[in-house]
């Protein structure tokens, strides 16, 4: 009896949806829906997402345009010896849209403020069939980056650059970046000790670009 009750409640919750019309539409996406890339003015990606989702709902396009995504990933930013997690856009100036391509859906997306066009598509309605959808494997790769639980580390130095050690027994020594190990979060420097170049391995937090 309990199982039947729980199943009934689960069914009721599924019927009720999420409360977000755009999200609810994404729960039942037809097979002919593809992911497309649209180009936006730089810095307007999030505004385009909000405006487009509003247009989808108010213009009755929930059955043709299903998802709008600004690809982002979490990144560990190291600055002045401090570590902080920030959100970074994977493709600045671009937004992904999952939709069934028709004259109407093309126009709703194309006429959204700050959208300059589809990648691979023309600027006129008769060109609407030209945009090339993303390949499923490319979509999966992008979404996997967004869902990663481990933030990527962003560093401001690169191999061959001069850096200063800001922590540890070699504080204030300068060295040249010899190798960077992103997986371990380590950098190997060539540091001059008393006229002799010596390799020193340090954590990313222990150095900063000069």
60 or 168, which is more confident?
60
Q: Are residues 49 and 97 in the same domain?
A: yes
Domain-located, residue 3: no
> Distance between CA 49 and CA 34 in Å, rounded?
17
Work out how many domains the chain is built from and give that number: 2
Angle at 127 between CA 126 and CA 131, to 5 degrees: 145
Taking only the tens place, the pLDDT of each residue in 85-141 is 888 898 999 999 999 999 999 999 999 999 999 987 655 555 555 688 999 999 999
Burial classification of residue 150, based on how many CB atoms lie within 10 Å of its CB (0-12 exposed, 13-18 middle, 19 or more buried): exposed
Q: Are residues 132 and 33 in the same domain?
A: yes
50: its two tokens: 């909000």
Q: The domain spanning residue 181 has which CATH number?
A: 2.30.30.30
pLDDT of residue 75: 81
- Residue from 56, 92, 100, 54 nearest 72 by CA: 92
Supply the range of the domain harboring residue 198.
162-209
The pLDDT confidence band at residue 168, using thresholds 50, 70 and 90, is confident
Q: Are residues 77 and 111 in the same domain?
A: yes
pLDDT of residue 99: 95
146: its two tokens: 């967004």
From 151, 173, 193, the end of a domain falls on: 151
Q: Are residues 170 and 103 in the same domain?
A: no
Q: Are residues 122 and 176 in the same domain?
A: no
pLDDT of residue 174: 94
pLDDT of residue 60: 95
145: its two tokens: 């980056």
pTM score of the predicted model: 0.65
Pairing mode, strands 34-40 and 94-99: antiparallel
The pLDDT confidence band at residue 63, using thresholds 50, 70 and 90, is very high
At residue 11, the 3 state secondary structure works out as helix
Q: The domain spanning residue 40 has which CATH number?
A: 3.30.70.940
Q: What is the DSSP string of 74-125?
A: EEEEEETTEEEEEEEESSTTEEEEEE---HHHHHHHHTSTTEEEETT--SSG
């Amino acid at each position: 009896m309990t199982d039947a009750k729980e199943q009934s409640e689960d069914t009721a919750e599924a019927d009720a949806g999420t409360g977000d019309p755009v999200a609810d539409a994404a729960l039942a996406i037809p097979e002919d829906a593809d992911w497309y890339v649209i180009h936006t003015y730089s810095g307007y990606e999030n505004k385009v997402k909000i405006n487009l989702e509003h247009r989808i709902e108010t213009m009755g396009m929930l059955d043709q345009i299903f998802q709008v995504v600004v690809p982002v990933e979490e990144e560990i930013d190291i600055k002045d010896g401090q570590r902080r997690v920030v959100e970074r856009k994977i493709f600045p100036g671009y937004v992904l849209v999952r939709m069934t391509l028709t004259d109407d859906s093309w126009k709703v997306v194309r006429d959204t403020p700050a959208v300059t066009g589809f990648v691979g598509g023309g600027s006129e309605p008769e060109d609407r069939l030209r945009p090339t959808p993303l390949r499923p494997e490319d979509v999966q790769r992008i979404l996997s980056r967004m869902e990663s639980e481990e933030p990527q580390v962003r560093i401001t130095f690169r191999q061959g650059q001069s850096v200063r050690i800001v922590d540890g027994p070699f504080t204030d020594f300068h060295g040249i970046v010899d190798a960077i190990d992103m997986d371990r979060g380590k950098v190997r420097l060539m540091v001059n000790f008393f006229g002799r170049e010596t390799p020193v391995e340090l954590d990313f937090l222990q150095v900063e670009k000069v």
